[in-house]
Amino acid sequence: MSNRNHKVIIIGSGISGIKAAIELHKKGIDTLILEARDRIGGRAYTVESPVTKVKYDLGCCWFHCTGFNPLFKNSLNAGNVEYCFDDSSIAFISNEGYIPGSYNLGPVVDEMKLFASKFENGESLNLHTLSNHYIFENKNVLTKQQIRYAPQLLRLLEVPNGVSWDMVSGSKSIAPYGGRDAFVKNCYETVLNNELKGYPVNEKILTNKVVSAIEKKDSKIIITTTGNEIFTSDYVIVTIPQPLLTLSKGEEGSIEFKPSLPRTITDNFPKTKSVSLNKVIFEFDQVFWPEDIEKFITIGKVDEDFSEKIIENKIDVTDLKVDIEAFDVLGAKTPETWEFPTLVANLFAIKKLPSLMFLIPSPASLYLEKYPDQRWTLLKPLIAKIAKLEESQLPEPINTIGSSWSSDPFSRGSISGIPPDGLIVNEGLIEGFGNIRFAGEHTIYEGHGCAHGAWLSGLREANHILDRLNTK
């Protein structure tokens, strides 16, 4: 059994933990990061294909809101991060094929978002219900094509929210426009390495240290690992994903707090959720799809019954509400192709690789993470429509890579989700628990759910401690 004392101990080496440690280290504060995995980075995770030796990001891979993103600005200053704004060419595809631009769906979907954000009590209804209300109230100024396709295009919000429109808050799922996104071409490991320059990684980040208990004792904090190692500190910054905070004692990844976390934190746990946005990358020998389109958006199959009733005025306002599907049934059923939207990054247009990268929301994401051998079966019909080929004409991928955040015991999800009547942020975590502090993408409004939000939360907590120590 070993005993180690540090001024500040940080649980987790994701972007928030790394940023907090760096800022404290700059001011001469003794820090140590304890990381449960055998690698650093958290959900910023770059892997190498065993077949092509090409690197891909299974976690964050875009700079979001670039006009206000400090990680992006740091990368510009570093000069070694390759990126592109992959928003110049986008195609929308249904099970019927490419959707003509003449349908003019974009302005309608923009208006649907505005409608949902302003709908009375919209936070307590799911996005599906608010979509129905918009179509019902505006049917006389919409074309038949807009009535049929606009709701399914609105469902693209399932991707940034990570979950079905039946499960997410209607109004809170729509984030205000924050600026353009830039794809990181040479992967987020480059971004992380830039941030870590000057920090003594080998001495100050310990991997394979699974924290099992955090105890307040007098003015000190005692941290115990599953290996019975004991560390002590004056402050702790906990950056683990929120689902781990809700686990019962003894579950893998759980931390026992002594005394228990206050109700200002725990009462909000049911109102904030974590969801799993699945990423699947298919590598091929050559490109057989349109080479110059940067993104393909595949939408769910049109609800023909609802559309026809709207068009024929056979629906009443009382028929518009869709029951909220609970988060706890995620992954319970086998998804069907074309019942969920996907965002597909064309990695040939972006970085000259014959690969397609799918982003898939829950519950389909959980199915694919549980049954990775079904990736090609479920997504092959989408690729056929993208390539304008019959399924029988498609070549088999030479390799498939996919994320597994929901089954990872130290993440149990990839991003924060907002259930109806839920909260964007558990403000109890921002308030903290005395000298036990919390950081991560789930603890901040600006950049919520994004890598730069995690970065900003780490900076916030470092500054909080520096203020307490009068060393800022």
**Mean of the per-residue pLDDT values of the chain:** 95
Domain identity same for 386 and 326: yes
Report the distance separating Cα 460 and Cα 457, nearest Å. Answer: 5
Helix locations, 287-426, DSSP H: 304-311, 347-351, 364-370, 375-387
% of the chain surpassing 70 pLDDT: 98
| pLDDT in the model for residue 177 | 80
Domain identity same for 33 and 145: no
| pLDDT in the model for residue 1 | 42
Q: What is the pLDDT of residues 160-210, one digit of tens each?
A: 999 999 999 999 988 888 899 999 999 999 999 999 999 999 999 999 999
Which tokens go with 457? 């939360």
Domain identity same for 310 and 396: yes
| pLDDT in the model for residue 120 | 85
What total number of domains does the chain contain? 2
Q: Is the pLDDT at 470 greater than 90, yes or no?
A: no
Q: What is the pLDDT of residues 117-162, one digit of tens each?
A: 999 888 899 999 999 999 999 999 999 999 999 999 999 999 999 9
Domain identity same for 149 and 291: yes
| pLDDT in the model for residue 325 | 79
Report the distance separating Cα 220 and Cα 311, nearest Å. Answer: 67
Domain identity same for 233 and 375: no
What 3 state SS string does 248-312 have?
A: CCCCCCCCEEECCCCHHHHCCHHHCEEECCEEEEEECCCCCCCCCCCEEEECCCCCHHHHHHHHC
Q: Is the pLDDT at 105 greater than 90, yes or no?
A: yes
**50, 399 contact by CB (below 8 A):** yes
Give a yes or no: residue 322 inside a domain. yes
% of the chain surpassing 90 pLDDT: 89
Domain identity same for 147 and 234: no
Section 388-397 average pLDDT: 98
Q: Is the pLDDT at 3 greater than 60, yes or no?
A: no
Q: Which of these three, 402, 431, 457, is where a domain ends?
A: 402
Domain identity same for 266 and 312: no
Q: Which of these three, 376, 402, 428, is where a domain ends?
A: 402
Domain identity same for 318 and 261: no
At 329, is the pLDDT very low, low, confident or very high (cuts 50, 70, 90)? low
Give a yes or no: residue 410 inside a domain. no
Query: Position of tokens 């990736």?
Result: 375
Q: Which of these three, 372, 402, 432, is where a domain ends?
A: 402
Domain identity same for 35 and 174: no
At 289, is the pLDDT very low, low, confident or very high (cuts 50, 70, 90)? very high
Section 45-54 average pLDDT: 98
Section 69-73 average pLDDT: 96
* Encoded amino acid at 457, one letter: S
Give a yes or no: residue 119 inside a domain. yes
CATH code of residue 369: 3.90.660.10
Of 33, 42, 44, residue with least CA distance to 81: 44
Which domain does 374 fall in, by range? Answer: 88-179+277-402
Query: Position of tokens 């893998």?
Result: 252
At 327, is the pLDDT very low, low, confident or very high (cuts 50, 70, 90)? low
CATH code of residue 462: 3.50.50.60
- 177 vs 284, more confident: 284
Report the distance separating Cα 116 and Cα 410, nearest Å. Answer: 34
Domain identity same for 289 and 387: yes
Domain identity same for 287 and 156: yes
Q: What is the pLDDT of residues 436-462, one digit of tens each?
A: 999 999 999 999 999 999 999 999 999
**136, 125 contact by CB (below 8 A):** no
Give a yes or no: residue 293 inside a domain. yes
Domain identity same for 301 and 194: no
Report the distance separating Cα 371 and Cα 406, nearest Å. Answer: 12
Give a yes or no: residue 52 inside a domain. no
Section 28-54 average pLDDT: 97
Give a yes or no: residue 312 inside a domain. yes
Report the distance separating Cα 54 and Cα 184, nearest Å. Answer: 14
CB atoms within 10 A of CB 467: 10
Give a yes or no: residue 54 inside a domain. no
| Segments of 361-449 assigned E as strands | 399-402, 415-417, 436-438
Give a yes or no: residue 443 inside a domain. yes
Q: What is the pTM of this model?
A: 0.95
* Encoded amino acid at 136, one letter: F
Q: Is the pLDDT at 328 greater than 70, yes or no?
A: no
Section 355-360 average pLDDT: 98
